[in-house]
Chain A
Amino acid sequence: MTHLTRRKLFTLAAGAGTLAVAANLPRTANATPEEAQKAISEFTGGKEPQSGKITLTAPEIAENGNTVPISISVESEMTGDDFVESVTLMAEGNPNPEVATFLFTPLSGRAEATTRIRLAKTQNVVAVAKMSDGSVYSDRKEVKVTIGGCGG
C-alpha cells in the first residue's frame, strides 16, 4: 500500500493541482444509493424493510476509512423457530455496495456481530435483517469519512 505522507501530498497538490484530486478517485464509478437499493431488494426478495428491531452501530466520524468498526444487533429470542436468519450490510458510496452478509442460527444465541469495514467516502451504511418468519427490518447510519479506504 502506498502511504501518502503529508509531504508527498503537498508536493502532489502543488505539482499537479486537480490531478491530485483525480488520483484519489477509485477506478470504477462509485455505487449509487439506487444500486445499493437494488442489492437490498435482491436480498429481501422485493420486500420493503420496516424500521425497528435492528440496530446498526457505527462511528459518526471515521478518521480512517480503511477500518471502520461496525456492529449490528437484532432483537430476537433466537430459539428454534423465531430467529434472525441473516443480516446484510451495504455501503451506498463504495465501488460495490455489498459489504458483508452474516448468517445466524439458533445456536448463535444472540443476533449480534461486530466487524471492521472499508468506506471510500462519507456515506450511508445500511443494515438489513431477514427474520425466520420472512419479515425484514433495516437501519441506516451516516458515517463521515476523513480518509477514504478503497485505495487509489
Chain B
Amino acid sequence: MAAPRIRVKVPSSASAGEVITIKTLISHEMESGQRKDKDGNTIPREIINNFTCEFNGTKVFECQLDPAISSNPYFEFYAKVPESGTFKFTWQDDNGETYTEEKDIEVS
C-alpha cells in the first residue's frame, strides 16, 4: 500500500494553559477482516490499531482502534497547552509500520 497521507490541524499559536482543538486524518483502507473478495476468500484484517498524541514527550490522548472505525480514520480531540512545544502524532498499523507527524505550537 502506498504511504498514507496525513493531515493534522493544530493552531500555530495559543495562550498558556489554553485548551485547543486538534483534528487528524490519515488515509487508510482499515480492512476489517469481515469482507470477502470476489472468489469468496476473506480479505485479511489490516487496520490502524492505535493512535497517540504526545506533547513534548507527555501523552495527551490515545485511541485504541477496532475494525469498526471507518476507513481514513478521523479524530477530533482537545489538548491543554502549558508552553511552546511540539505535538507528535503516531499511528500504528497492523502490518507493523508506524506513521508519524509533528506540529509545533507557539505559546505567547
Contact = CB atoms under 8 A, between A and B. Distances in A.
Interface majority SS on B: helix, strand, loop or mixed? strand
Interface stretch (A6-14, A47-55, A113-121, A128-136): A113-121
Interface in B21-50: 32, 34-36, 38, 42
A3 interface: no
Given A108-B77, A114-B76, A150-B34, A66 B70 contact: yes
Nearest to A1: B35
Contact of B60 (A100, A105, A114): A105
Given A28-B34, A99-B66, 18 more contacts: A27-B36, A66-B71, A68-B70, A94-B68, A96-B66, A98-B66, A100-B63, A102-B61, A102-B77, A103-B61, A104-B61, A106-B80, A107-B79, A108-B79, A115-B74, A115-B75, A116-B73, A118-B67
A36 B55 CA distance: 34
